[in-house]
A and B are shown apart, each in its own frame.
Chain A
Amino acid sequence: MRVSRGFTGSRRGGEPGRLPPGQYDVGSNWPVLTAELTPRVDPDSWTLTVNGRVADPKVWSWQDLRALPPSTYSGDIHCVTTWSKLDTSFTGVSVDELLAAAGPLPEATHMVATSTTGYTTNLPLADITGGKAWIVWEHEGRPLTVEHGGPVRMLVPHLYFWKSAKWIETITLLDHDEPGFWEVRGYHDRGDPWREQRYQGD
């Protein structure tokens, strides 16, 4: 092993194995690294659409979503820029709930999430079904702030956080994979932090 002369490091995570490789614990901070200007999103006119390869395309208003059975994720999140935020929580609705309503067609294999800003990110359906993904509007019991993707963002905590599209408006199911904003800009197609899939080819 080659070492960096004189480097000791001061932010070692607590439990061994808790942080994915190359990540550090950002503590109570929550960096904002969005590529776009934070948009102005009005919850009263905002809607969430699930369309594409589904039996029954659906549109939910802010009120409609909140009437669905709530679901909370408690755990860690990992950003590709190497910070991880441990023991945090988000509340919203499971993506399973939305997909059940829209009815994915048998040929649906992937999805692309689109934000108010035009930002997109792609995910295999296997990564957003079975309790692995949420649409959330609360962080640690408080409304999700706009710089963190509020009023409503996607949450896919087992993948790098660029997959958790802020200001989400549309989930489109596809019968093929279609790289999103960062995925066409050199970042990995899937982004599993435990396999350190940061960039294409990792």
Chain B
Amino acid sequence: MTEPAPAPGPWQWATVQAVVPENRHVSTLRLVLPTWVPHLPGQHYVVRLTAEDGYTASRSYSVSSPPELTGIVELTVDRLPTGEVSPYLVDEVAAGDEVEVRGPVGGHFVWRGEGPLLLVAGGSGVAPVMAMLRSRRLSHPEVAARLLFSVRSPEDLIFAADLGPETTVVHTRRTPPGSARPAGRITAADIAAVAFDRGPAYVCGSSGFVETAARLLADTGRYDPARILLERYGPTS
């Protein structure tokens, strides 16, 4: 049985402490919350933007910081070229701005310390699994973990400085020089190389990526489908 997740708190205005570019199109917003509650790694916040005429737009963003970092949450946002909210968050928001948020939300795609921990992420889908990896480093170093991270090209990597030996990066469009694996979408062999034979598996990214990767994982026969947890961001990657 799943422990009931607490309801998220009320809307609050967080102060942007820093905006840290991860690559050309992804930035991490570090928010200081007036009322901070510990999140479970994997949970997200809802961001609500309000225009001068009262028009609002809300979108969900996973927390990429671990709950061990108290008082703040970091959201890692990929700018979609024609998007309404993500270009504003990545290009417009600066340190000192205030952003309205509500959370933490979500009681399914959450990690409570179980191992061994398999993480499979595509693009910005790495955000919630990075919260898991970071929390593991701080609170559960004994838990074995592996991250399979799919990005388009080397310059699209996110959290480059934070990826350790547990991480395998695969490239879908262009590989770095000298790479043994040709560029291409995630394959059964990529999955077989990282899959454990038990424990939870977390798969996150665009809806298409998640479906493909989770199907490959289920097809290894090494995972009970109920232990493959999915977070789909929507149609775009």
| Interface of A toward B, CB cutoff 8 Å | 1-12, 22, 24, 29, 31-38, 81-82, 117-118, 147, 181-182, 184-186, 199-201
Task: Identify A32's interface contact among B6, B50, B84, B207, CB under 8 A.
Answer: B207
B48 at the interface (CB under 8 A from A): yes
Contact A35 B109 (CB under 8 A): yes
Closest 3 CB pairs of A and B: A185-B107, A200-B7, A186-B5
- Which secondary structure dominates where chain B touches chain A? mixed
B49 at the interface (CB under 8 A from A): yes
Contact A82 B59 (CB under 8 A): yes
- Chain B residues 199 to 237 lying within 8 A of chain A, measured CB to CB, are 207, 211, 214-215, 218, 225-226, 228-230, 232, 234-235
Question: Number of residue pairs across A and B with beta carbons under 8 Å?
Answer: 111
A-B contact pairs, 17 of them (CB 8 A): A2-B100, A3-B50, A5-B92, A7-B49, A7-B88, A9-B84, A10-B84, A22-B56, A32-B232, A37-B230, A38-B215, A184-B2, A184-B107, A185-B107, A185-B108, A186-B6, A186-B107
- Which secondary structure dominates where chain A touches chain B? loop
Contacts of A34 in B (CB 8 A): 230, 232
Contacts of B154 in A (CB 8 A): none
Task: Determine the distance from Cα of A33 to Cα of B108 in the docked complex, in whole angstroms.
Answer: 13
Contacts of B107 in A (CB 8 A): 184-186
Q: Which residue of chain B has the shortest Cβ distance to A36 in the bound complex?
A: B230
For residue A154, give the distance in angstroms from its CB to the closest CB of chain B. Answer: 19
For residue A115, give the distance in angstroms from its CB to the closest CB of chain B. Answer: 13
Q: Given the known inter-chain contacts A31-B234, A35-B230, A37-B228, please indicate yes or no for A9 contacting B51, CB distance below 8 A.
A: yes
